């Protein structure tokens, strides 16, 4: 069978996406490849399809132990025999899988990199025919990437020791040249075919907002999309706890994920999210690498990430099935401080020497600057991302926060002068200065203990901003930090200090401005900004909901995540086409023969029942 037929029959898709065909062809000819494609572009098919056509076994090396089960479940749904080997298997199942592989029972075998060295796996690898080795998340081999895994450094030696070296396919979504070079060198790729597809993800709407209260904004955002499932990334464990608790208290279906939880709890929470039992995942960046949940409708960054690579990777977990999705970054200038602190006090990579460590730190700080520039730009956000990754981009994309809402410059010189002179007076009285909250108390005329303790109410600037909310004053302070008029010292008790340029504002008439977004007329009319997601065609929406419920029930019975049965895009196509016969069912995008056999009956019945009810209504 040829590959296009296989794509249609097995996977239910009509055509290859960009990059897939050349990668598949090369692998089928036994040539190494390096596929650099953004999340959601369809990297898996690039090795899953050749696996079906090649005579021997395809091994897939993946760092994501928790994912393997779902990946194998998804393949099983497609009728593709596969299994995985990792530390979650008990001794008996491990043996069974090894025996199955020896018998040739599988086309694909997922293995964790650490397994490659295990004796029994080595024996197996020496005895059977391995046609293809796919290395997923290949950037994990590079110390320059964000997800370095020492186990990946052993892959090259493993491949070389095989009786016959298979074709090797390396896949990643990380685009920088340095990481790409590392992948080729450290995995020992031999004259690989390199395919890099465009990094744009047209279905993602990017936005950066500076809300007065992030919590209030988040709740509003979530209430406006009551059915969408999504991820909220926070910079620290503590923040994850606070945000998750807050959402739960307000009745949102949220769960959490960070490195401070037990393995069991992390696994449970992840599953609840993947299986659509919890709608919102609040997590640190420990969550999600390769999370294969295609129906993520939004990714909100509660804090600014450390660099654009992380941001695009995390935001890119939205809309993998191609449906419209939103990526919002909630920016507060104070986040820059947090990120800087995390970089300066981050985990040290034990494999690098001291001088390299300093170099890495400097590089991280440079990347942070670029990230900050993204948050502050008034230009097209998509263009900013694409240019960062070395792609050309049009001036305006028309579907990001900056392209679709005007920005207005506001003069905040008076507010700035009040704050700066307040800090100046505090510094005069306490040469070591005080922290932000004391300054806020003083400016807003609070009667707090700190005020009394330091006698701040004796200063002439006491209470000069009492008419402005604390959040708003905080926003101004953050802005002044961002613009270099104030700085926060490092250390456990950071204090607020004047920077030399503050004199320009205080004594030489320099103006301070900030950019605020002006809502469009349509947004004003709708009473909100969030109106741009495409709704399914009229009528289709009700049916879509019915099909979604049916999918949920079937997934529950089969004990697999819902997207493994059908993706949202497939359901939407089904709701639009309303197939009445098994042949028509096969026409739906994402429905292959195997899945049709399994699911045509219940879905066709549901569609027929719905049509009948609709007719009865008229």
Identify what 39 binds: ligand ADP, Zn ion, none; CB under 5 to 8 Å per kind.
ligand ADP
Identify what 41 binds: ligand ADP, Zn ion, none; CB under 5 to 8 Å per kind.
ligand ADP
C-alpha separations of 448 from 440, 456, 457, 467 in Å: 11, 10, 10, 17
Contacts of residue 10, Cβ cutoff 8 Å, sequence gap at least 6:
49, 52, 78, 79, 80, 592, 593, 594
Q: Does 197 bind ligand ADP (CB under 6 A)?
A: no
Which one among 9, 21, 44, 513 touches ligand ADP, defined by CB under 6 A? 44
Give the nearest distance from C-beta 290 to ligand ADP in angstroms.
Answer: 8
Which one among 131, 284, 567, 568 touches ligand ADP, defined by CB under 6 A? 567
39 vs 58, which CB is nearer to ligand ADP? 39
* CA gyration radius, the chain: 27
204-209/229-233 β-pairing = unpaired
Q: Does 45 bind ligand ADP (CB under 6 A)?
A: yes
Residue 450's nearest CA partner among 461, 434, 466 is 434
Tokens at 308, concatenated: 């654009």
Contacts of residue 230, Cβ cutoff 8 Å, sequence gap at least 6:
279, 280, 281, 296, 297, 298, 299, 300, 318
User: What gap in Å lies between CA 482 and CA 480, rounded to an integer?
Assistant: 5
Q: Does 561 bind ligand ADP (CB under 6 A)?
A: no
Q: Does 208 bind Zn ion (CB under 5 A)?
A: no
Identify what 380 binds: ligand ADP, Zn ion, none; CB under 5 to 8 Å per kind.
Zn ion
Residue 169's nearest CA partner among 341, 5, 34, 308 is 34
Give the nearest distance from C-beta 39 to ligand ADP in angstroms.
Answer: 4
Binders of Zn ion among 354-393, rule CB under 5 A? 380, 382
Identify what 382 binds: ligand ADP, Zn ion, none; CB under 5 to 8 Å per kind.
Zn ion
Identify what 403 binds: Zn ion, ligand ADP, none; CB under 5 to 8 Å per kind.
Zn ion
Q: Map residue 245 onto helix, strand or coil.
A: helix
Identify what 321 binds: ligand ADP, Zn ion, none; CB under 5 to 8 Å per kind.
ligand ADP
167-172 sheet: strands from edge to edge: 82-85, 108-111, 57-61, 130-135, 167-172, 33-36, 193-196
Identify what 551 binds: Zn ion, ligand ADP, none; CB under 5 to 8 Å per kind.
none
C-alpha angle 539-545-547 in degrees, rounded to nearest 5: 105
184 vs 292, which CB is nearer to ligand ADP? 292
Give the nearest distance from C-beta 402 to Zn ion in angstroms.
Answer: 6
401 vs 561, which CB is nearer to Zn ion? 401
Site size with ligand ADP, rule: CB under 6 A: 17
Which one among 23, 27, 33, 40 touches ligand ADP, defined by CB under 6 A? 40
Give the nearest distance from C-beta 52 to ligand ADP in angstroms.
Answer: 14
Identify what 148 binds: ligand ADP, Zn ion, none; CB under 5 to 8 Å per kind.
none
User: What gap in Å lies between CA 58 and CA 50, rounded to an integer?
Assistant: 9
User: What gap in Å lies between CA 23 and CA 442, rounded to an integer?
Assistant: 63
320 vs 326, which CB is nearer to ligand ADP? 320
207 vs 441, which CB is nearer to Zn ion? 207
Tokens at 311, concatenated: 């941001």
Locate tokens 């009509």: which residue?
Answer: 14
Give the nearest distance from C-beta 272 to ligand ADP in angstroms.
Answer: 21
Q: Work out the burial of residue 447: count CB atoms within 10 Å of its CB; fewer than 13 is exposed, 13-18 middle, 19 or more buried.
A: exposed
* DSSP bridge pairs for 83: 109
Phi-psi sector, 431: left (phi>0), alpha (psi -120 to 50), beta: alpha
Q: What is the DSSP letter of 227?
A: T
385 vs 486, which CB is nearer to Zn ion? 385
Which one among 26, 36, 41, 600 touches ligand ADP, defined by CB under 6 A? 41
Identify what 496 binds: ligand ADP, Zn ion, none; CB under 5 to 8 Å per kind.
none
Binders of ligand ADP among 264-323, rule CB under 6 A? 292, 294, 320-321
C-alpha separations of 453 from 154, 456, 457, 458, 590 in Å: 60, 8, 10, 11, 67
Give the nearest distance from C-beta 291 to ligand ADP in angstroms.
Answer: 10
496-498/486-488 β-pairing = antiparallel
Which one among 6, 10, 32, 43 touches ligand ADP, defined by CB under 6 A? 43
User: What gap in Å lies between CA 352 and CA 366, rounded to an integer?
Assistant: 19
On whether the CB atoms of residues 65 and 88 are closer than 8 A, the answer is yes
Residue 290's nearest CA partner among 264, 263, 317 is 317
37 vs 125, which CB is nearer to ligand ADP? 37
* Closest residue to ligand ADP using C-beta atoms: 42
Identify what 17 binds: ligand ADP, Zn ion, none; CB under 5 to 8 Å per kind.
ligand ADP
Q: Does 400 bind Zn ion (CB under 5 A)?
A: yes
Locate tokens 């293809």: which residue?
Answer: 132
Give the nearest distance from C-beta 72 to ligand ADP in angstroms.
Answer: 14
Give the nearest distance from C-beta 386 to Zn ion in angstroms.
Answer: 10
Candidates 24-32, 34-42, 415-423, 449-457; binding stretch for ligand ADP (CB under 6 A): 34-42
Site size with Zn ion, rule: CB under 5 A: 5
Q: Phi/psi at 560 (nearest 5 deg)?
A: -130, 160
User: What gap in Å lies between CA 329 and CA 303, rounded to an integer?
Assistant: 7
Residues 7-26, one symbol each (x = binds ligand ADP by CB under 6 A, - = not), give ------x--xx--x------
200 vs 265, which CB is nearer to ligand ADP? 200
Quick one: how many helices (H) and strands (E) in the chain? 27, 17
Q: Does 39 bind ligand ADP (CB under 6 A)?
A: yes
User: What gap in Å lies between CA 444 and CA 462, rounded to an integer?
Assistant: 7
On whether the CB atoms of residues 339 and 305 are closer than 8 A, the answer is yes
User: What gap in Å lies between CA 380 and CA 207, rounded to an integer?
Assistant: 10
16 vs 485, which CB is nearer to ligand ADP? 16
Identify what 313 binds: ligand ADP, Zn ion, none; CB under 5 to 8 Å per kind.
none
Q: Does 201 bind ligand ADP (CB under 6 A)?
A: no
Contact residues toward ligand ADP (CB under 6 A) are 13, 16-17, 20, 37, 39-45, 292, 294, 320-321, 567
Please report, as ranges, the residues that interact with Zn ion according to CB under 5 A: 380, 382, 397, 400, 403
């Amino acid at each position: 069978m040829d590959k296009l037929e296989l794509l249609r029959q097995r996977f239910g898709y009509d055509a290859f996406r960009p990059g897939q065909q050349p990668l598949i062809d090369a692998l089928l000819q036994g040539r190494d490849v390096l596929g650099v494609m953004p999340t959601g572009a369809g990297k898996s098919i690039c090795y899953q399809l050749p696996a079906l056509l090649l005579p021997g076994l395809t091994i897939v090396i993946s760092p994501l132990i928790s994912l393997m089960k779902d990946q194998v479940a998804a393949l099983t749904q497609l009728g593709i025999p596969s299994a995985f080997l990792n530390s979650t298997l008990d001794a008996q199942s491990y043996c069974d899988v090894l025996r199955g592989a020896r018998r040739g029972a599988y086309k694909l075998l997922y293995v964790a990199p650490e397994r490659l060295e295990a004796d029994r796996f080595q024996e197996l690898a020496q005895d059977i025919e391995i046609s293809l080795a796919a290395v997923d998340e290949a950037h994990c081999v590079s110390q320059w990437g964000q997800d370095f895994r020492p186990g990946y450094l052993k892959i090259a030696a493993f491949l070389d020791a095989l009786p016959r070296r298979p074709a090797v396919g390396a896949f990643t979504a990380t685009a920088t040249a340095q990481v790409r070079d590392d992948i080729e060198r450290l995995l020992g790729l031999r004259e690989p075919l390199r395919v890099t597809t465009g990094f744009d993800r047209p279905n993602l709407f990017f936005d950066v907002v500076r809300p007065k209260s992030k919590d209030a904004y988040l709740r509003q955002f979530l209430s406006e999309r009551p059915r969408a499932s999504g991820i909220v990334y926070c910079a620290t464990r503590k923040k994850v706890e606070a945000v998750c608790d807050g959402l739960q208290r307000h009745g949102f279906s949220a769960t959490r994920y960070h490195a401070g939880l037990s393995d069991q709890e992390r696994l449970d929470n992840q599953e609840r999210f993947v299986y659509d039992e919890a709608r919102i995942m609040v997590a640190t960046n420990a969550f999600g690498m390769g999370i294969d949940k295609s129906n993520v409708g939004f990714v909100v960054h509660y804090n600014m990430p450390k660099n654009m690579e992380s941001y695009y990777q995390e935001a890119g977990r939205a809309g993998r099935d191609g449906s419209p999705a939103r990526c919002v970054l909630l920016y507060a200038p104070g986040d820059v401080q947090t990120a800087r602190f995390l970089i300066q006090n981050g985990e040290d990579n034990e494999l690098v020497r001291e001088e390299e460590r300093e170099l890495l730190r400097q590089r991280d700080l440079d990347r942070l600057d670029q990230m900050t520039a993204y948050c502050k730009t008034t230009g097209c956000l998509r263009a900013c991302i694409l240019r960062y990754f070395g792609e050309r981009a049009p001036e305006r994309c028309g579907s990001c926060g900056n392209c679709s809402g005007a920005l207005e410059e506001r003069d905040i010189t008076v507010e700035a002068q009040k704050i700066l002179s307040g800090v100046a007076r505090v510094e005069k009285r306490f040469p070591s200065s005080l922290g932000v909250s004391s300054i806020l108390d003083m400016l807003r005329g609070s009667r707090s203990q700190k005020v009394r303790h330091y006698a701040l109410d004796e200063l002439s600037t006491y209470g000069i901003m009492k008419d402005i909310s604390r959040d708003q004053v905080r926003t101004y302070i953050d802005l002044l930090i961002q613009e270099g008029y104030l700085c926060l010292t490092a250390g456990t008790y950071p204090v607020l200090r004047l920077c030399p340029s503050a004199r320009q504002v205080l004594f030489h008439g320099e103006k301070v401005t900030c950019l605020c977004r002006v809502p469009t007329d349509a947004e004003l009319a709708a009473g909100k900004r969030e109106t741009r997601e495409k709704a399914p065609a009229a009528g289709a929406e009700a049916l879509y909901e019915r099909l979604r419920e049916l999918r949920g029930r079937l997934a529950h019975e089969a004990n697999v995540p819902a997207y493994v049965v059908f993706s949202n895009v497939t359901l939407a196509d089904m709701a639009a086409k309303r197939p009445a016969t098994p042949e028509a069912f096969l026409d739906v995008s994402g429905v292959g023969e195997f899945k049709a056999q399994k699911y045509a009956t219940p879905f066709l019945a549901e569609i027929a029942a719905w049509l009948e009810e609709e007719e009865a209504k008229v």
